[in-house]
Structure 1
Amino acid sequence: MISSVQEWALSLPWFLHWVGILALGAIPFVESYLGSVIGVLSGLSPFVAIPVAIGGNVVSMLAFVFGAHAVRGRVMAGREEAPLTPRKQKLKERFDRYGVAGVSLLGQMVLPSQITSALIVSFGASRNRVILWQVISIILWGVVCGILAVYGVNLFA
């Protein structure tokens, strides 16, 4: 999958190359970490590829957070919380144990930031706190993976 996405990015005209990386960064499971790697490996300067992939991921995550916050507000208006399914209960227990910061920083190893952030907000966490920690996490993962790509470390093969 990574090679086909990389080929797609390379097929774009040089002046639209960064737009392709921006779009890749917005896709769940590609995000800032793979978007920055694909951008670097496809020839973009790391000083362009990494921030552009991070930007795409942040914009996408914000859409999910604001959407989840709005839906939760409408659903919860005047109602009690419904019991959680076993799967959501397990996620809630992890959220309670690690908090917004821990789930944001470590959650990207399991789920995309968009899904993680929407789940955290649906559990009732502060929208602004979720956004802050998700942005920190997206930047951290994008920079680390982009730098590893610059130095030829291949963790995704």
Structure 2
Amino acid sequence: MDVLDLLRDWAAQGALGYLAVLIGAAVPWVELLVVVPPAILLDLDPTLVAIVAFVGNFLPVLGLVAGWSVILRRREARGKAAPGSAESGRYARGRRVARRYGVPGLALLGPLLTGIHLAALIALGLGASRREVVIWTAGSLALWAAGTALATVGGMTAVGG
């Protein structure tokens, strides 16, 4: 399937469903696991769903990474600690994973434990380079998007016969 075929599928199936996937995937803690299976079950193209969900989930991460210095300055001006330094709930889980497995582990487990957006902030807050966060987050999201789409299609095939 080439890019032109993907665009034809997009147009044929209606861009509204894919727009919903894009927006849903961008919402923190909704993540790919909540967006991809229903979209595929609603008969949207699994490949296109995975690609759109990846983009929707990754763009906010890029925004957070790009705006990291602005985030720090604003929090410091308000007298608050850097994001990722609070020791409660999701932050604490993310920090434990980051200390044990580094940025790769945090990025790969982020969608399950903290949400990828918070995982990126925790990694940055613990001193990881922006480049490292972007690379590992992109790889993680690509694996999660493809894996979730494949698992959904596989499950549908197994149930459907």
The TM-score with structure 1 as length reference comes to 0.74
Deviates more, 1:91-100 or 1:24-33: 91-100
Task: Tell me the residue number matched to 1:7.
Answer: none
Provide the C-alpha distance between the structure 2 equivalents of 1:98 and 1:55, rounded to a whole number of angstroms: 25
Task: Tell me the residue number matched to 1:108.
Answer: 111
Q: State the Cα distance separating 1:93 from its structure 2 match.
A: 4.5
Kindly provide the amino acid, as one letter, of the partner of residue 128 in structure 1: R
Pick from 133, 147, 152 the counterpart of residue 149 of structure 1.
152
The RMSD of aligned alpha carbons is 2.5
Mapping of residues 8-157 of structure 1, within 5 Å: 14-72=14-72, 85-87=86-88, 91-152=94-155
For the 8 Å contact 1:69–1:121, the answer to whether it is kept is no
Q: State the Cα distance separating 1:57 from its structure 2 match.
A: 0.3
> How many residues were matched structurally?
136
For the 8 Å contact 2:94–2:106, the answer to whether it is kept is no
Change (3 A) 1:93 1:148: closer
The CA deviation string for residues 24-76 of structure 1, in whole angstroms up to 9 with x for no partner, is: 11112222232221221111011211101111001122122223343236767
Provide the C-alpha distance between the structure 2 equivalents of 1:30 and 1:86, rounded to a whole number of angstroms: 22
Provide the C-alpha distance between the structure 2 equivalents of 1:125 and 1:68, rounded to a whole number of angstroms: 12
Gaps of 5+ in 1: 1-12
Kindly provide the amino acid, as one letter, of the partner of residue 38 in structure 1: P
Percent identity over the alignment is 27
Gaps of 5+ in 2: 1-12, 157-161
